[in-house]
């Protein structure tokens, strides 16, 4: 049995406050010490309960600021190449994009291998963060083969990068390979999304392949409670 333990019952109380709407989506929970006092438990129990609900995706925290009720997840088909902005509009949600950096740098080993470059080669790297309804939920890091994307860094990098690749550079006939795994954010990534190091996230990597060569390697990190992927299949006879 469980549910008899202290922190489970604390979690259950908070959960029912959330479901009843007493704690609205996006709103701030009482402070940890406040919860201790109201429910007569030690702080360890309050925190264990909060961690438990965080794992469920029911609440999230902003580093050193507090705990908040998670909004409904954003729904997203990673195999589609629509701009995210269109998706957001369709779901009636507010999407913001902020450019964090756009540099020419030495390629990390993994990237160099993917892009079939020497270990000392330079690549173009664009890093952005994106918010849904005011919450930073997505960190994108995109690596481009330098020779295939002249002048990339001087273009407008706050819009759809996909559209740039397709329209400005003319890469239309292409394939996209995708990887999905569950990885927490490292210190740098966490800071950029204002969360704690180790926050659970869904890692999505996309390799853009043209003429059998990978020319763009992208990585997206989505806060785990903020995203739900949905892939519509194709009819096959297999």
Partner DNA sequence: CAGTGGTCTAGACCACTAC
Partner DNA sequence: TAGTGGTCTAGACCACTGC
In the complex, the residues that contact a second copy under the rule CB under 8 A are 2, 52, 55-57, 73, 79, 81, 166, 172-184, 187, 197-198, 200, 202, 209, 224-225, 227-238
Residue 230 binding: pick among DNA, a second copy, none (C-beta 5-8 Å cut-off by kind): a second copy
Check residue 55 for interaction with DNA (CB under 7 A): no
- The one among 19, 43, 82, 104 contacting DNA by CB under 7 A: 43
Residue of 12, 227, 11 lying closest to 130 (CA atoms): 227
Check residue 60 for interaction with DNA (CB under 7 A): no
- Sequence-distant (6+) residues with CB within 8 A of 158 are 97, 98, 99, 128
Shortest distance, CB of residue 42 to DNA, whole angstroms? 3
Total residues interacting with DNA, rule: CB under 7 A:
25
Question: 54 or 220, CB closer to DNA?
Answer: 54
Neighbours of 186 (CB within 10 A): 13
d(CA 220, CA 157): 16
Please report, as residue ranges, which positions from 178 to 197 form the binding site for DNA (by CB under 7 A): 196
Residue 187 binding: pick among DNA, a second copy, none (C-beta 5-8 Å cut-off by kind): a second copy
Residue 173 binding: pick among a second copy, DNA, none (C-beta 5-8 Å cut-off by kind): a second copy
d(CA 122, CA 132): 33
Shortest distance, CB of residue 40 to DNA, whole angstroms? 8
Alpha-carbon distance values, 163 to 85, 111, 123 (Å):
12, 22, 20
- Sequence-distant (6+) residues with CB within 8 A of 103 are 124, 125, 153
Residue 94 binding: pick among DNA, a second copy, none (C-beta 5-8 Å cut-off by kind): none
- Sequence-distant (6+) residues with CB within 8 A of 119 are 107, 109, 112
Residue of 55, 215, 6 lying closest to 124 (CA atoms): 215
**Which 3 state secondary structure label does DSSP give 142?**
strand
Residue 204 tokens read as 């999505």
Residue 175 binding: pick among a second copy, DNA, none (C-beta 5-8 Å cut-off by kind): a second copy
| Residues near DNA (CB under 7 A) | 1-2, 5-8, 29, 31-34, 41-45, 47-48, 61, 63-67, 196
């Amino acid at each position: 049995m469980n549910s008899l333990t202290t922190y489970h019952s604390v979690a259950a109380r908070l959960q029912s406050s959330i479901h009843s709407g007493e704690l609205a989506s996006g709103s701030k929970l009482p402070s940890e010490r406040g919860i201790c006092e109201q429910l007569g438990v030690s702080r360890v129990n309050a925190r264990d309960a909060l961690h438990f609900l965080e794992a469920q995706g029911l609440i999230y925290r902003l580093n050193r600021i507090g705990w908040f009720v998670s909004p409904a997840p954003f729904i997203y088909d990673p195999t589609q190449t629509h701009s995210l902005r269109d998706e957001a509009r369709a779901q009636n949600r507010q999407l913001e994009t902020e450019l964090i950096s756009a540099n020419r740098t030495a390629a990390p080993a993994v990237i160099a291998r993917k892009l079939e470059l020497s270990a000392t080669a330079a690549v173009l790297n664009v890093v952005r963060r994106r918010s849904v309804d005011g919450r930073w939920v997505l960190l994108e890091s995109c690596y481009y083969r330098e020779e295939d994307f002249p002048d990339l860094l001087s273009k407008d990098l706050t819009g759809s990068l996909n559209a740039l690749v397709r329209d400005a550079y003319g890469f239309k006939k292409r394939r996209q390979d995708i990887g999905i795994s569950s990885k927490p954010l490292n210190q740098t990534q966490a800071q950029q999304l204002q969360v704690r190091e180790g926050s659970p996230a869904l890692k999505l990597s996309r390799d853009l392949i043209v003429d059998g060569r990978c020319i763009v390697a992208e990585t997206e990190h989505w806060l785990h409670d903020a995203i739900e992927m949905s892939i519509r299949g194709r009819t096959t006879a297999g």
